[in-house]
Amino acid sequence: MSEKSKKDSNELLNILMIIIGALFVLMGIMNLLAWAGISVGFDLNNAAIQEALTVLGPSGIVSIVLGFWCLVSGIGMFREEEYAMGMGLVVLSVMAVQTLSVMLSWGGIEWWTNWINYILIIAFIIGVLGFFWLIFTYKRYD
């Protein structure tokens, strides 16, 4: 049989990349709106809100760009596109490093008391595990 076998992507990783990408875009937009002084429907002086605005990146623009490419990569990986694997490696590694840098700054604070910090932990885990998953399964994108 000369028929090529159908490729099978990891749907869980693809869906997680799309969800995390959407969260990065949302947080980036909120960060930009807060920087511009535009009210987003809640008290921007609240410490928890201020932390939420910067939790996924040092600037809104970087978070939006990273989230956008994470979305594009996650969608492309459903189709087993070659470009999606390379983009996924870059996006996941940047996500892991960016969230790790924020987590390292926690120091002696009680990080577990703020639910926002769990988004960082999840993004870090998805970044690291997703990166290694793509490395170990790269043959499917040939």
End-to-end CA distance of the chain: 20
Task: Please determine, for residue 131, whether its predicted confidence score (pLDDT) is greater than 90.
Answer: yes
pTM over 0.85: no
By residue count, the chain amounts to 142
**pLDDT of 15:** 92
18: how many CB neighbours lie within 10 A of its CB? 19
Give the Å distances, CA to CA, from 83 to 3, 79, 92, 108: 23, 10, 14, 41
Average pLDDT value for residue range 100-121: 76
| DSSP single-letter state for residue 88 | H
pLDDT mean across residues, the chain: 77
**pLDDT of 125:** 93
Task: Please determine, for residue 124, whether its predicted confidence score (pLDDT) is greater than 80.
Answer: yes
| Residue range 31-88, pLDDT digits in tens | 777 777 776 665 556 666 566 555 544 567 787 888 899 999 999 988 878 788 889 9
Residue that has been written with the tokens 């002696």 in this structure: 108
Give percent of the chain with pLDDT exceeding 90: 20
